[in-house]
Amino acid sequence: MINSMKGVLTQKRAGVFYLETGGSLEWEIETSYTTISSLPAEGSVVRIFTYLYHREDSMRLFGFTGEEERFLFLNLLKVNGIGPKQALRILSSTTSEFFSRILEEGDAPALSRIPGLGVKTAQKIILALKGKLTFHEENAQAAEGGDLVLALEDMGFDRRKAAAVIKVLADELLAGGFSGAELEKECFRQAIIRLSGS
């Protein structure tokens, strides 16, 4: 699973942009209007949070400038009858805060105002996702330290414990004068030591 990609933004159009990585590979990445509008100028270096959609007859790469938007996209795909195209249409027509509020209030008429989304589909989305979008509560902590937490999880450590240790270490090392790549390297090294001893 590719969590994120960092490269040069070579071109952006409605619903798609192109990212060059390694100087010789250019990726076509589908996305929402929200991400397109938040991307910097072409030629800029950007980090994109990705999702590889793989089916027997197709392979498509989706990307977002924020983890929360990707989180919402992935959850929309879990709703029966919602595919990538419709999920992107929903994300392009609303903000994550507004979408979350609509879900919690069970406001199907408000959700059905999104172009191409009828009342029945809106009700289906609310039924499937209400009370289940817990990005801020469960995933914000894991987002802190991002790649480090994922790397530690890949090594077999518990995600929540890794995220908590990374947060504490980051504060300690920042206070100790570490920054940039050295901060990340030392944070990772000490996290392994602490988690191995817990």
Report DSSP letters for 107-138, one per residue. Answer: -HHHHTTSTT--HHHHHHHHHHHTTT--IIII
Residue that the structure tokens 């300690």 belong to: 172
CATH class of 67-134: mainly alpha
Alpha-helical (H) ranges within 20-107 are 33-38, 67-77, 84-93, 96-105
pLDDT at residue 151, as a whole number: 82
Residue that the structure tokens 């994922």 belong to: 150
Q: How far is Cα 74 from Cα 113, in angstroms, rounded to an integer?
A: 21
For residue 194, CA distances in Å to 61, 157, 165, 197 come to: 36, 11, 8, 5
DSSP 8-state secondary structure symbol assigned to residue 49: E
Rg (CA), the chain: 19
pLDDT at residue 163, as a whole number: 82
pLDDT at residue 144, as a whole number: 46
CATH superfamily of 4-64: Nucleic acid-binding proteins (2.40.50.140)
160: left (phi over 0), alpha (psi -120 to 50) or beta: alpha
Indicate the SS3 state at residue 9. strand
Rounded to the nearest angstrom, the gap between the alpha carbon of residue 40 and the centroid of all alpha carbons in its chain is 18
pLDDT in tens, the chain (198 residues): 578 999 999 999 999 999 999 878 999 999 999 999 999 999 999 999 999 998 888 899 999 998 889 989 999 998 988 999 999 999 998 887 788 888 888 888 988 888 878 888 999 999 888 877 655 444 444 344 567 877 888 888 888 888 888 888 877 887 777 766 677 788 889 999 999 886
Output phi, psi for 49, to 5 deg.
-85, 125
pLDDT at residue 42, as a whole number: 95
pLDDT at residue 1, as a whole number: 57
In the chain, ranges of CATH 1.10.150.20 domains: 67-134
Q: Which residues pair with 111 in a beta bridge?
A: none
Q: In 3D, which of 90, 94, 56 has the Cα closest to residue 73? A: 90
